[in-house]
Amino acid sequence: MPFAPEACAELAKPLAADAETDLVAQLQQGSEAAFRTLVERYQDRIYQVILSLLRNPEEAEDVAQEVFVEVHQTIGRFRGEAALSTWLYRLATSRALKSLRRARTQKRFAFFTSLLGFGNEVLHEAPTHAHPQALLEGQQQLGLLLDHIARLPDQQRVAFTLRHEQELSYEQIAAVLHTTVPAVESLLFRARKTLRQHLQPHFRHD
């Protein structure tokens, strides 16, 4: 299953309620055409949010494929309590975090363990897609930012990624994380505070 970073922006937009209801109904009836439509519409967003958490394109593609396999297998249990896109984000972030926890335990993904400080070599160049770094300049500072984002607690890292890289609203993030808007605000506040504390000494002062 190919994952194209340059997927059409129009496909990334959430479906209208009626269209989403029709798509879910077709999926639950086992329509392969509907499943292809789902993949074409959401694969890029799902891949990107997983990549933002894993920082490993090959692993992100594997996990994204797992997400859509899970969708295919479990769509019959989808009851519409949340939007279809929200459900997909939940599956994506859940599987990505499981992958990260597995990597930490087994120490088998050199890139991730190096970000957490287990090794001293820089094994990969920092990703080139956009990241919030208004006060950071250059590749070294970007790598440092990614390092400290990776060190955030799981919930803070997911909230920060969904807000600043996927540009989800607070309400959407709350739905993905099964929590409240004030809880999301608290997660983001703590994440930003931690990042400021650790990155402040590296900020450029003119």
65 and 166 share one domain: no
103 and 2 share one domain: yes
Give me the number of domains the chain comprises: 2
For residue 63, pLDDT over 80 is answered with yes
For residue 73, pLDDT over 70 is answered with yes
108 and 131 share one domain: no
Give the per-residue pLDDT at 81. 83
pTM of the model as a whole: 0.65
Residue 196 region by backbone torsions, left for phi larger than 0, else alpha for psi between -120 and 50, else beta: alpha
Contacts of 107 (CB under 8 A, 6+ apart): 113, 118
45 and 75 share one domain: yes
Q: Tokens in use for 194?
A: 């931690």
Domain assignment present for residue 132? The answer is yes
Domain, as residue range, for 36: 1-119
Sole residue written with tokens 């929200």: 86
* Of 204 and 77, the one with more pLDDT: 77
113 and 135 share one domain: no
Q: What is the pLDDT of residues 104-146, one digit of tens each?
A: 655 433 433 343 343 433 333 444 444 444 444 455 666 777 8
Domain at 145, CATH number: 1.10.10.10
